[in-house]
Amino acid sequence: MKDILKAPFVEEMKKMTANMYRLGWDERNGGNISWMLNEDEVAEYLDIHSIIRTIPIGFEAKALAGKIFIVTGTGKYFKNVMDDPETNLGIFKIADDGCTAELLWGYKDGGKFTSELPAHLMSHMARLSVDLDNRVVMHTHPTYTLAMNYVHELDEKKFTHTLWEMCTECIVVFPDGVGVLPWMLCGTNSIGEATAEKMKEFRLVIWGMHGIYGAGKTLDETFGLIETVEKAAQIYMLTAHLPRINTIKDSEMKELAEYFGVNYRKDFLNL
Catalytic residues: 116
Closest CA to 181 of 198, 166, 202: 198
Cβ 32 to Zn ion shortest distance, Å: 7
Q: Which does 145 bind (CB under 5 to 8 A by kind): Zn ion, ligand 13P, none?
A: none
Q: Which does 80 bind (CB under 5 to 8 A by kind): Zn ion, ligand 13P, none?
A: none
Q: Which does 75 bind (CB under 5 to 8 A by kind): ligand 13P, Zn ion, none?
A: ligand 13P
Query: How many positions of this chain bind Zn ion (CB under 5 A)?
Result: 1
In Å, what is the CA distance from 136 to each residue of 49, 85, 235?
23, 18, 27
Return residues touching ligand 13P (CB under 6 A). 29-32, 72, 74-75, 114-116, 139, 186
Cβ 122 to ligand 13P shortest distance, Å: 14
> Nearest-5° angle of CA 135, CA 132, CA 140?
30
Q: Which of residues 157-196 bind Zn ion (CB under 5 A)?
A: none
Cβ 216 to ligand 13P shortest distance, Å: 19
Q: Which does 115 bind (CB under 5 to 8 A by kind): Zn ion, ligand 13P, none?
A: ligand 13P
Q: Which is nearer to ligand 13P, 35 or 268 (CB)?
A: 35
Q: Which is nearer to ligand 13P, 24 or 75 (CB)?
A: 75
Give the range of 54-62, 69-77, 174-182, 207-215 binding Zn ion by CB under 5 A. Answer: 207-215
Q: Find the DSSP H helices in the chain.
A: 8-22, 39-42, 78-81, 85-88, 117-130, 143-151, 156-166, 170-173, 189-199, 219-239, 250-259
Cβ 18 to Zn ion shortest distance, Å: 18
* DSSP one-letter string for 125-175: HHHHHH-TT--EEEEE--HHHHHHHHHS---HHHHHHHHHHHSTTHHHH-T
Instruction: Say if CB 134 and CB 215 are below 8 A apart.
Output: yes
Give the range of 62-70, 97-105, 203-211, 234-242 binding Zn ion by CB under 5 A. Answer: 203-211
Residue 69: count other Cβ atoms within 10 Å of its Cβ.
25
**Residue 34 phi/psi, 5° resolution?**
-130, 140
Q: Which amino acid is at 187?
A: G
Q: Which is nearer to Zn ion, 35 or 164 (CB)?
A: 35
Lay out the site mask for Zn ion across 208-227 (x = CB under 5 A, - = otherwise).
---x----------------
Q: Which is nearer to ligand 13P, 127 or 139 (CB)?
A: 139
Instruction: Say if CB 47 and CB 155 are below 8 A apart.
Output: no
Residue 152: count other Cβ atoms within 10 Å of its Cβ.
17
Cβ 260 to ligand 13P shortest distance, Å: 33
Tell me which residue has its CB nearest to Zn ion. Answer: 211
Per CB under 5 A, residues contacting Zn ion are 211
